[in-house]
A = this chain, B = another copy of it.
């Protein structure tokens, strides 16, 4: 049983799955990645809000940023409950997320909106897939944290009306969407190859079902399909 964090008072009962140290390590890795991802999402949305065309739009993006920060705090607190140092748990994923954002800095307001909508959508889908292999407590937390807080309707509406006003922007934005998904997948691959615990989690164990190569292939097919749907809802080809 890991040490509870200092401020929790009585020891909370963790699901039995955590008796396996490899499982615990994998969950700490996953929540660390997710938490750091939420924190950088806060960062990026807050920064992008400064390019908003007016104060009302700026407030919309700021609201999205703060929603992501709220998710961050929940994940950080759960890491504490697992007896992990939350910031140490995030550390291994900093470079990957920072690299992703450095390579996908939006050049304008519309690119920011697409990144918020398409990028978060893809990440959510991925974490949801992984959550299916976790104990119920962790799975519920992840699903709650990933729940769309209704902000994406705003991004879709803004991008669609910009394309309606000037159909030529559609081509450039479609390229942007493709670049986002390409970078996201290549960074995800780096994480999977560097963190054995996460790869092991997906592969399963004697007592836990996992994904074989065919299942991983099907997962990627689902991710790409959902991505194409999101692009279509923006009025863009995937």
Contacts and interface: CB of A to CB of B under 8 A. Distances in A.
Interface string A53-78: 01110110011011001101100100
**Interface of A (DSSP majority class):** helix
A59 B46 contact: no
A172 B43 CA distance: 29
Interface string A94-112: 1000000000000000000
A193 B80 CA distance: 52
Contact of A39 (B36, B59, B69): B59
Copies of this chain, how many? 2
Contacts of A31: none
A47 B69 CA distance: 14
A117 interface: no
A69 B90 CA distance: 25
Q: Which of A42, A47, A94 has the most CB of B within 10 A?
A: A42
Interface residues of A, number: 26
Contact of A87 (B42, B56, B66, B94): B56
Nearest to A88: B55
B39 A62 contact: yes
Interface in A134-176: none
A36 B54 CA distance: 12
Given A43-B50, A49-B43, A62 B69 contact: yes
Q: Which of A46, A87, A91, A94 has the most CB of B within 10 A?
A: A46
Nearest to A56: B87
Given A63-B69, A73-B63, A87 B46 contact: no
A39 B63 contact: no
A72 B42 CA distance: 17
A68 to B, nearest CB: 9
Interface string A19-47: 00000000000000000100100110011
Contacts of A62: 39, 42-43, 69, 72
Interface of A: 36, 39, 42-43, 46-47, 49-50, 54-56, 58-59, 62-63, 65-66, 69-70, 72-73, 76, 87, 90-91, 94
Give me the 5 closest cross-chain CB pairs, A-B, nearest first: A46-B46, A66-B66, A66-B69, A55-B87, A56-B87
